[in-house]
Chain A
Amino acid sequence: MDTFAPDLQEKIQSELTRYETPRSAILPVLHLIQDYYEWIQPDHVAWLERDFGLSRVHVQEVATFYSMYRLEPCKPFRILFCDNLVCAMMGAEKVMDKIRDHIGSFPEGKCPFSLQGVPCLGVCDGAPAMLVNKDRHLKVNRDNVDAILASYKV
């Protein structure tokens, strides 16, 4: 395939006219692409320029500036664990250790999870908090984390 899937093209097109300038569509379009293909590939950036007129330079600088865009192939389940002030006080590091153990328990290359520490997720009343893809989990602790992860199967 040398361009985006047709249904995605339609969505991209409507974003381009949704804001005052096409450039404003860059962030939403990158979200759409990422939701569709899991990560943003170099080809995608090229197609955005060729087929939709979005400058490669402009797209690339946005893609690299914002931390939620994935520019490399990724695991099916991405754990973003808050390691900021409140979650740290509530034991985030120990839970993350447990997650690292969980990840380490899979045979080489078979683990469907990745783990990354992220800044405050805006849910500190439920600390420690994490996202698994788009699911929010609150009050994650060493006792419940394995069960939460076990519910994610490829």
Chain B
Amino acid sequence: MEFPKILTRFENIPNSRALATYEKHGGYEAARKVLGQKPEEVIALVKDSGLRGRGGAGFPTGLKWSFVPKSADTVYLLCNNDEGEPGTFKDRYILELSPHMLIEGMIIAAHAIGAKKAYIYTRCEFYDEIRWMNEAIEEAYKAGYLGANLLGTKLHIDLDHYIGAGAYICGEETGLISSLEGKKGQPKLKPPFPAVSGYLGKPTIVNNTETLAAVPWIITHGAAAYKAMGTEKSPGTKLFCVSGPVKKPGVFERPLGYPLKKLIFEDAGGMIDGKQLKAVIPGGASAPVLLPAEIETLTLDYEAIAAAGSMLGSGAVMVIPHDQPMMELLRILVNFFHHESCGQCTPCREGTGWLANIVQGVEEKTALPEDIEKLYQIALHMEGRTICALSDAAAMPTKAITKKFADELKQTIYANSRLGG
């Protein structure tokens, strides 16, 4: 399968993060091209490319940009670089390879939506990456790509870097906005959507790092070239993070629609130590687990994975080996979501608490086999009734594990109970 590299085109290029390297390989040419165009033209091109948000939801990027009211005087662009979804490490890789690609994407996006101020919001645990990003921003200012009269135009775009402090919920776009306002990272009720009322009540576009980093290539090569890759409804390439007991874990850029098994067993080298595949989580911790039979012909695009009952999410492919107890993964999942729930909504706060309590009962030998069904029922009632999607993100994988591994989980409870053990 032949396809151009977009996001990873600086792999194996020495000194890839430096501005000089980026410029040598055509860097900032797309921004130069775009700044002479009308914002509507830029939005139309990105719409036409079919680019969809890479933060998890897959929302069409150009369409989102077009929601900013034309009359708005102050507009903000925020890059969501919080990368907290367990199993995900692709945005980190973009900063490692080419922070300037992100800056250029943000200049283009800011011009398209009329933003004069943009922020990158990065999780604080990315210490090295934060430093690299800061260095790149400084270089870009010095070279006149940011600030007043950038690239010799009348435009003024400022870019700053904001650092989080350890809260998964700040990856949710309205939680991120709360955090940037200097508050607890609590999500806000939608509507109004951020595109209408976001940061400080002003129209705000939040995009994932990978989404924004793909934009310069699309501008340079055109919508048709982007659409030539991937599937009709999921065009372009995507970064997939393969992790778990495989020979070559890492980030792989592949066209959407790429076969999942090929990614795991060829590109990532297959399993280590003769382990067998037990299951795969295809799109981060929130994505329902899939069994080997379910991934036989599965392709990595939004539609195919949804049809298989899971989601492409952030593109985090977690490989689960045959000797991995599912009760342990379930325990980690429910504790994670319980810990990260911001507590505003009852179904999420209490629901994740109940899930965690029941699973805790397994260790304390108080759990009963019928608790597996109870977990499923609780999860069922946590969906679709909260301010943000964290509650759903906790419910979906819980439902899948308790349904697909009910027998194993019940056996674990039995073996661990006073009856069995």
Contacts and interface: CB of A to CB of B under 8 A. Distances in A.
Interface of A: 18-21, 23-28, 30-31, 58, 61-62, 65-69, 80, 83-86, 88-90, 118-127, 131, 134, 136
A74 to B, nearest CB: 14
A95 B246 CA distance: 19
B318 interface: yes
A136 B89 contact: no
Contacts of B200: 20-21
A30 B165 contact: yes
Given A27-B163, A65-B167, A90-B245, A119 B339 contact: yes
A52 B309 CA distance: 52
B32 interface: no
A25 B84 CA distance: 22
B184 A85 contact: no
A66 B182 contact: no
Contact of B184 (A65, A67, A119, A136): A65
Interface stretch (B2-10, B13-21, B125-133, B223-231): B125-133
A125 B92 CA distance: 11
Contacts, number: 136
Interface string B47-89: 0000000000000000000000000000000000001111111
Interface string B211-248: 00000000000000000000000000000011111000
A15 to B, nearest CB: 10
A27 B249 contact: no
Given A24-B180, A124-B241, 8 more contacts: A31-B124, A85-B87, A89-B329, A119-B84, A119-B86, A119-B336, A120-B285, A131-B125
- Top 7 nearest A-B pairs by Cβ distance? A68-B166, A66-B165, A23-B182, A120-B86, A124-B243, A67-B166, A65-B184
Interface of B: 83-89, 91-92, 117, 123-128, 160, 162-168, 179-185, 199-200, 241-245, 249-251, 281, 285, 316, 318, 320-321, 324, 328-329, 332-333, 336, 339-340
Given A119-B336, A122-B92, A27 B84 contact: no
22 contacts: A19-B162, A24-B162, A24-B180, A27-B163, A30-B165, A31-B165, A58-B182, A61-B183, A62-B165, A65-B184, A66-B165, A67-B167, A84-B285, A84-B336, A89-B321, A118-B166, A120-B86, A122-B92, A125-B242, A125-B251, A126-B249, A127-B243
B182 A24 contact: yes
A134 B130 CA distance: 12
Contact of B243 (A27, A119, A125): A125
A66 B185 contact: yes
Contacts of B117: 20
B417 to A, nearest CB: 22
A86 B244 CA distance: 6
Given A69-B165, A85-B281, A89-B320, A122 B340 contact: no
Given A21-B200, A68-B166, A127-B243, A88 B328 contact: yes
B182 A88 contact: no
A89 B166 contact: no
Contact of B241 (A24, A65, A125): A125
Given A61-B184, A119-B336, A86 B243 contact: yes
A18 B180 CA distance: 12
Given A84-B332, A85-B285, A136 B241 contact: no
B328 A28 contact: no
Contacts of A67: 165-167
Contacts of A86: 86-87, 243-244, 318
A86 B85 CA distance: 12
A63 B243 CA distance: 33
A80 B183 CA distance: 24
Contacts of A65: 167, 184-185
